Amino acid sequence: MMKMKLVKTLLLLLCVKLFCYAVIGAPQTCPANNEDKCGDSDEWKGEFFPDIPKIKYEGPSSKNVLSFKWYNAEEEILGKKMKDWLRFSVAFWHTFRGTGADPFGAPTKYWPWEDGTNSLNMAKRRMRANFEFISKLGVDFWCFHDRDIAPDGKTLEESNANLDEVVALAQELQTKAKKRVLWGTAQLFMHPRYMHGAATSSELKVYAYAAAQVKKAIEVTHYLGGENYVFWGGREGYQSLLNTDMERELNHLARFFEAAVAYKKKIGFNGTFLIEPKPQEPTKHQYDWDAATSANFLRKYGLTGEFKLNIECNHATLSGHSCHHELETARINGLLGNIDANTGDPQVGWDTDQFLVDIQEATLIMLSVIRNGGLAPGGFNFDAKLSVLLYLYILVFLFVLFPPSVSVLSNVIGGERAQMLKTCS
């Protein structure tokens, strides 16, 4: 009897010990809102956007605020499905790295899962949130800067290792979610080393570092199946010509692009290279001032067959043009590749990156896209800062792109301008 009790006691102790091992060995998870401050882990439980279902097309009569009224991804218009005309993409930098700060103020927005760090684990949490967001929104693409998705290291090797680790997770998540990269790019403007430019810097070591950073960014874009790669020369310009050799800097910029083209071909990356024009801010004068300036640069250096343009509507405003003007300039030169879908405020002198809600402007934009036969392999990326009404703005944007007046665009393409005026009236 005593032996039986002893055996039972030992078995009970063994079971308790095994249970403790199982609990200790189990992966620890964090809630999406980071309430227990466990920012040292990239794991989570639950959803980052709880109580928000996948947003669907419900038609113009739907009373559901979070539904598509006019955007029906599968509906055919002018021979293409809406999703193929539009090819929407979520911009990682605004959506998950935007802080709500402006040139004169401190950050005003903070995601509940952020822990205040820029650690690798925090980067992974953001990436998980990204794929939940685009899946619920029903968008097929996303785009990124290298330093937005992974933290900068103390050395180039450390930065590349950080990027590799986050990109491995991104590849896993996008395969599972059946999403794709519209484009990737290297952030060559925020770090102090780039204060005088990257490809146009007067310092050889900065030029070389920028080249190495772009090389890595092209590699990871290729690895993720990216369809394009963007060059935005945020600091490729000058403040004064009194201490700038413009011709030399432009030659350096061209050599930089030529090297990128050569490497693209070497690794078999078939994506399109895109240049994003912008006239100023942060520099007084940027070399890619507008579509016409960029087209002339490409012709001068024999690069027109290798590049197209990524037109941002807010940049058009800063250069004194309309977005429609910039799109048409790119299109008639055979260079229209992608659109940064946003708008600027004509009363504000900096890049405000607002969501486009003007029906007339959106219709003219789509007129250029239709005349171009679409944007593929490019698309529309939401290069706009978040606000409290993020979802509402996106829904409004989708509404104005294809309102009930799609027939207006069809008539313009067919030359029936009289019918267009009648419809508009």
Catalytic residues: 145
- Which of 310, 134, 296, 165 shows the shortest CA–CA distance to 228? 310
CB 335 within 8 A of CB 309: yes
Look-up of token digits 């409004």 = 396
Provide the residue type at 199 as one letter: A
What CA–CA distance (Å, rounded) separates 150 from 182? 18
Cα–Cα distances in angstroms (integers) from residue 264 to residues 33, 167, 259, 390, in the given order: 41, 19, 9, 36
CB 340 within 8 A of CB 350: no
What CA–CA distance (Å, rounded) separates 38 from 346? 44
What CA–CA distance (Å, rounded) separates 292 from 306? 17
Residue 55 backbone dihedrals phi, psi, to 5 degrees: -80, 130
CB 287 within 8 A of CB 233: yes
